[in-house]
Amino acid sequence: MSHHELDARRLLCPMPVIKTQNQVNTLQQGDTLTVICTDPGALNDIPAWCRINGHAVLETREEGHEVRVTLEIGEPSIAL
């Protein structure tokens, strides 16, 4: 299990979520990812995406003008 960071600064909705999805697709179950954004909507959008897709949100926080969301990759979804 490893930790990764995704720089999604200066991207507006829906790009932080799309970039997060793309990065998550390259990771393994149990890996963690911290997404760093400047779009304040990501504070709600990324956790909502995680709930829908079976990933755990470990932490959300605001640091100045940046939002950080750390998530743990869940089981891969099975396409039907």
Q: Is the pTM of this model over 0.95?
A: no
Query: In this predicted model, what pLDDT tens digit does every residue of 38-48 receive, in sequence order?
Result: 999 999 999 99
Determine the topology of domain 3-73 in CATH: Translation Initiation Factor IF3 (3.30.110)
Catalytic residue flag (residue 50): no
Task: For 7-48, write each residue's pLDDT tens digit.
Answer: 999 999 999 999 999 999 999 999 999 999 999 999 999 999
Q: Which residues lie closer than 8 Å to 71 by C-beta, 6 or more apart?
A: 20, 24, 32, 33, 35, 46, 50, 55, 56, 57, 58
Which pLDDT does position 76 carry in this prediction? Answer: 74
Cα distance between residue 71 and residue 21, in whole Å: 12
pLDDT attached to residue 52 = 96
Residue spans per domain, the chain? 3-73
The single residue of 1, 12, 13, 56 carrying the catalytic annotation is 13
Q: Say how many Å lie between the first and final Cα of the chain, rounded.
A: 27
Instruction: Name the E strands within 1-80.
Output: 3-8, 32-37, 56-63, 66-72
